[in-house]
Amino acid sequence: MELSTIKDAFERVVKKQKLCSSRSQEVIDLVGREIEQALTRLLSAHDPTSPVDYRSILAELKLKLNGIGPIHQLEGSHKELNGNLSRYTKLLEKSLNPDISKAYRDVDFDHHIENQLIANHFYQQGSFDLGDGIIDEAGEPESTILKSQFVVMHQILEAMEVKNLEPALNWVSANREKLNQSGSNLELKLHSLQFLEILKKGTQADALKYARTCLAPFASPASPHKEEVLKLMGCLLYPGRLDSSPYSEFTSPTHWEKSMEDLTRQFCSLLGQSYNSPLSMTIAAGLEGLPTLLKLANVMAAKKQEWQAMKQLPVPVELGKEFQFHSIFVCPVSRDQGSEENPPMLMPCLHVLCKQSILKLTKSSTRTFKCPYCPAEASAAQCRQLYF
């Protein structure tokens, strides 16, 4: 069963929970108001000018509470919630097999790489104590260079969280050439944020001075960022009141969040590291492919066939584009995925088929064959292997 089904069921439970909570609060508020009104009337008994009949007040309160029927109302909304929650737990038990060992394949791992992968994940997340703990327990040599770089990255990010851009600007300045080669506009983003902070907290003259010094290089006629800088200059008309100006979009906190994300991405790129932790990507891909593998294991077990020794799975494991890092060739004739044993081959007409399909078309290594997609003829010897 697809994870989307479980997600939909979960969202239905959340919706019912919110409705139940809202309804329960309404009932409690209504009961509370009736009790408060009755207490107010009871306390007025101290006023000799307005004698109070306690019994009649309490009897009237009881009558009103019976009319509201709080227990009945609460039971109804909670019954619906419990029904949805019960169905959701049954769906989880049916869909998520707790025994995932059937989908496990005994593969030889390089435990050194595995330990470094886990430690580097924690370093990248800023959990340096956890990373050091993994290294110590596994007896691995400490990757001081990578760890020290991630320490610097998190120091920069922590400074940005309190609107201190000096460490970030210093790092960008030191790596300007590499950032420009990758086409990054991170330096402009940071200078724009600093310019806006000066305009909000300082004076118009201070902001203009900063713009002439730091933003002018991005406003040259040949610069692709000229229009963006010109728009920023319009903010100079509203010092101290940007929030209520036509340029209020520049004050959105999302600009800081996106700049921090971009800095993290560029920092990891210059380190030769992936922005998304390889460990988290591996786990996420495994979770997405796990239902298919468990279903395959059950089907193969029922047929008393062994699947773990297969070089290629008999069914595709569909993963999202975020998990596709290499080009994949699928033969248009056989529909088989290219592999080392069956690589893609380029024909003289520039069409591509897998090697096994070409061998079947030639029926022998010397016989010519007609391309399935054009009138050109070729032989197996004329085809060349492609490398992706």
Domains of the chain by residue range: 3-94, 142-271, 327-387
Walking along the chain (388 residues) 10 residues at a time, the average pLDDT comes out as: 77 89 88 88 67 78 86 84 87 74 76 88 92 88 82 96 94 93 92 92 87 90 88 88 86 92 94 89 87 81 71 76 79 85 91 90 80 88 86
What CATH number should be reported for the domain whose range is 327-387? Answer: 3.30.40.10
pLDDT at 1 (0 to 100): 47
> Which residues neighbour 112 within 8 Å (Cβ) at sequence distance 6 or greater?
140
pLDDT at 97 (0 to 100): 61
pLDDT at 95 (0 to 100): 73
Angle at the Cα of 374 from the Cα atoms of 372 and 379, rounded to 5 degrees: 65
188 near 225, Cβ under 8 Å? yes
Cβ neighbourhood burial of 354 (10 Å; 0-12, 13-18, 19+): buried
What is the pTM for the complete model shown? 0.61
Give the integer Cα–Cα distance in Å for 80 and 12.
11
Q: Is 369 helix (H, G, I), strand (E, B) or coil?
A: strand
Neighbours of 202 (CB within 10 A): 14
